[in-house]
Structure 1
Amino acid sequence: MRLADFILQEMEAILASWEAFATTLGPASADMGSVELREEAEQMLLAVAADLRTPQTREAQRKKSLNQGPTPVGTSESAARTHGFLRARAGFTVNQLAAEYRALRASVLRLWMEQCALEVPDLDDMIRFNEAIDQALAESVTSFNLQVEQNRNLLLGMLGHDMRSPLQAIQMTSTYLAALNAGENVSKAAGRLIRSGARMQALLNDLTAFNRTKLGLGINVSPSQVNLADVVAEELDELRAIHPDRQIELQVTGDLQGVWDSLRLQQLLGNLVINAIKYGAQETPVRVMVTGDETHVRIDVRNNCSAAIEPTTLARIFGPLERGQDRQTQDEKAASLGLGLYIASEIAKAHHGAIETRSGETETTFSVSLPRAKQ
């Protein structure tokens, strides 16, 4: 049997073998289901089969061996490139990615040889199959490396974005301290300095931990029993010190005890409030409402606006490197990477929660729903 026919006939057996091997590539594969583990594999095999069935000259074969071959026949976009991107997003290493292709190559050829037990396998088919797998691997690695680089850039952007607010608090509070006599007010201001410094250290610790582990877009959290009312009040006090010209209101209702990472939730809330300050009507307050029910706590951040956010903008508002049209100066825009809402969304996901936004003609609301404990 020709190899292309064998691949199409035994597709399910090949995919099952691929999936069985992929599950061993922990810890990245631990939380992946069957569909995710097989993602793009079938399309790659279909492309390989189509390539095997396409006549190829010796010159075309030579170019392919030099990585100058065309995109596999039958694909508008390389499944291998998509596979590399998805594996990087899932936290695989490049060695694990290469191991998948090595296992796929061995599995297909072994099963084919068993099928051809009574006849001589077509050597040209074997050569062309190896070339196709090598090309797919090269495309996957290229895509994988591009995604890893983007992850690294996003991390640095997140670090720079989130250090700015604590640093501003330190600077402003230090100025305030210099103008005060010793007393209760000095103690409160010093407390702000200590808390802001702790947040800066936490961010740096995250960077160190990230560099020691696999690159990825997820945010690590360290949950503990906290009262969200205290967490929110402390963050809003700091934001009021940073933005003394803006009014920030707080309304708390219900039981706000739960298991969360308090520093991360302060980071989430800070990003939402700063976004509301930047894009909301300057003469109106930013309103923060925190409500607790039996299983969840909900945080709403509202600001008045002169017009609704466009549906196309809403659809991508939590994406990285997105910025809306606001009244910032050019210098302020240059200092903003558009990561605030993206980071807030990732923190909500890390707590098994969700974040959404609604925008009307006069008001925009960002709502965060957090379960009280890990689901």
Structure 2
Amino acid sequence: MRLAEFILRDMEGIVAQWEAFAATLLPAAASMEKLALRDHAEQILVAVAKDLSTSQSREEQSEKSMGRTGKPANSPETATQTHALLRARSGFDIRQLVAEYRALRASVLRRWMDDCLLVSPDVDDIIRFNEAIDQAVAESVGFFSANVEQSRDLFLGMLGHDMRSPLHTIQMTASYLSALNAGEKISGAASRLISSGARMQALLDDLMDFNRTKLGLGINIAPVEIDLAKVFNDELERLRAAHPDRRIELTVHGDAHGVWDGRRLQQLLGNLVLNAIKYGTPDAPVHVVVAGESDELRFEVTNSGPAIERLTLVGIFDPLKRGPDQQKRHDADGNLGLGLYIAREIAKAHGGDIEARSDATETAFSVRLPRHV
């Protein structure tokens, strides 16, 4: 008997074994009813049997074995994807999800071979069955991982939102203590609280921006008519006050007026300049050059220092990634490594882009912005 026919004929026995194995996957399965343990098993097996019964060329088999038979856009969820979603919501981990398919594969092949005692099993059926199970595993794992990641991002979003209120209270209390003039010890403690609170606020803002992009919401901007030269000068004055030992120079060419979110572009510039201060040569200036053109504006932040390795430069805007030297510095300053990623997302939100280049002479980050978002 061909494998597809066997699966459909022996469906109840196969599903019963699926259920029995799923019941061993603790602790998630401990409180699950029979129907939940069997979730979508029959639909998955029917899909596998249908796949085995469908004629397939060698070329199509080869493409399928390499995972190149993707679903059409906007097609409904498959049984394997829905199964993965429900398992994730039931508390299964990804190893348990894969274990279900491993047990299913062994169960079906063992039962079929026992049924084929007098006739040799069809080798092509075995190959195609394994490919179908592999495809089911890939679909399930992909959907499971996406669901877990989305749940994590939603949790981080809610956590970040809920942290804003107590952090604001800490900052307001520290400012009040500082204004009391109640002695050097209290004033010093208040200053440290204000500084630490500002640092926590910056980390929280980065986390919230990162979370929005991971949820597909993008960076939130509110564009208005502004003079970017003035906006940038205000930001650089703040950075000069925070880093009095560093030279930060601003040069403006042409018209710097346009419709942008000034606060967000200050954040973008601040991230680039802080990166230049952190990794550039301490006694060399950081240059910020703004050039207004007819329909867009460009600005560049450059610093002297060691060249960034090519492999590091390729992924320099990726979140939570650093080169070896950057990792050492991260261990000391405790930042999240999101500055350049958020800078890129702010540029994208304005319809612009950002590029990086580095050689033995200088490292430069160039940003292009259309004048109107």
From the superposition, tell whether residues 330 and 303 of structure 1 become closer, same or farther in structure 2 (CA, over 3 Å): closer
Q: How many Å apart are 1:253 and its aligned residue? A: 0.9
- 1:340 corresponds in structure 2 to 339
From the superposition, tell whether residues 135 and 67 of structure 1 become closer, same or farther in structure 2 (CA, over 3 Å): farther
- 1:260 corresponds in structure 2 to 260
- State the identity %: 41
From the superposition, tell whether residues 136 and 216 of structure 1 become closer, same or farther in structure 2 (CA, over 3 Å): same
- 2:279 corresponds in structure 1 to 279
- 2:169 corresponds in structure 1 to none
From the superposition, tell whether residues 295 and 330 of structure 1 become closer, same or farther in structure 2 (CA, over 3 Å): closer
Q: How many Å apart are 1:77 and its aligned residue? A: 5.2
In 2, Cα distance between the equivalents of 1:158 and 1:290?
34
Q: Describe the SS at the equivalent of 2:245.
A: coil
1:148 touches 1:216 (CA, 8 Å); kept in 2? no
In 1, Cα distance between the equivalents of 2:319 and 2:160?
10
From the superposition, tell whether residues 347 and 286 of structure 1 become closer, same or farther in structure 2 (CA, over 3 Å): same
Instruction: Name the aligned partner's letter for residue 356 of structure 1.
Output: E
2:347 touches 2:367 (CA, 8 Å); kept in 1? yes
Q: How many Å apart are 1:326 and its aligned residue? A: 4.0
1:157 touches 1:337 (CA, 8 Å); kept in 2? no
Task: Return 5+ residue gaps in structure 2 as ranges.
Answer: 19-39, 52-60, 82-128, 162-171, 182-193
1:224 touches 1:261 (CA, 8 Å); kept in 2? yes
Q: How many Å apart are 1:324 and its aligned residue? A: 3.2
From the superposition, tell whether residues 317 and 242 of structure 1 become closer, same or farther in structure 2 (CA, over 3 Å): same
Q: Describe the SS at the equivalent of 2:77.
A: helix
Q: Describe the SS at the equivalent of 1:283.
A: coil
- State the TM-score, normalizing by the size of structure 2: 0.53
In 1, Cα distance between the equivalents of 2:324 and 2:230?
33
- 2:77 corresponds in structure 1 to 101
Count of residue pairs brought into register by the alignment: 256
- 1:251 corresponds in structure 2 to 251
- 1:145 corresponds in structure 2 to 147
Select between 315-324 and 350-359 the one with higher mean Cα deviation: 315-324
- 2:21 corresponds in structure 1 to none
From the superposition, tell whether residues 239 and 154 of structure 1 become closer, same or farther in structure 2 (CA, over 3 Å): farther
1:158 touches 1:343 (CA, 8 Å); kept in 2? no
- State the TM-score, normalizing by the size of structure 1: 0.53
2:153 touches 2:215 (CA, 8 Å); kept in 1? yes
From the superposition, tell whether residues 310 and 176 of structure 1 become closer, same or farther in structure 2 (CA, over 3 Å): farther
Task: Return 5+ residue gaps in structure 1 as ranges.
Answer: 1-51, 88-96, 106-127, 160-169, 180-192
User: For residues 95-130 of structure 1, what are the alpha-carbon distances to aligned partners after superposition, in whole Å with 9 as ceiling and x for unaligned?
Assistant: xx9x93279x9xxxxxxxxxxxxxxxxxxxxxx9xx
Instruction: Name the aligned partner's letter for residue 322 of structure 2.
Output: R
1:151 touches 1:217 (CA, 8 Å); kept in 2? no
From the superposition, tell whether residues 157 and 287 of structure 1 become closer, same or farther in structure 2 (CA, over 3 Å): farther
In 2, Cα distance between the equivalents of 1:323 and 1:346?
18
User: What do you get for the CA RMSD once the two structures are aligned?
Assistant: 5.3
From the superposition, tell whether residues 256 and 102 of structure 1 become closer, same or farther in structure 2 (CA, over 3 Å): same
- 1:368 corresponds in structure 2 to 367
From the superposition, tell whether residues 102 and 65 of structure 1 become closer, same or farther in structure 2 (CA, over 3 Å): closer
In 1, Cα distance between the equivalents of 2:242 and 2:43?
55
2:222 is equivalent to residue 225 of structure 1: no
In 2, Cα distance between the equivalents of 1:302 and 1:270?
13
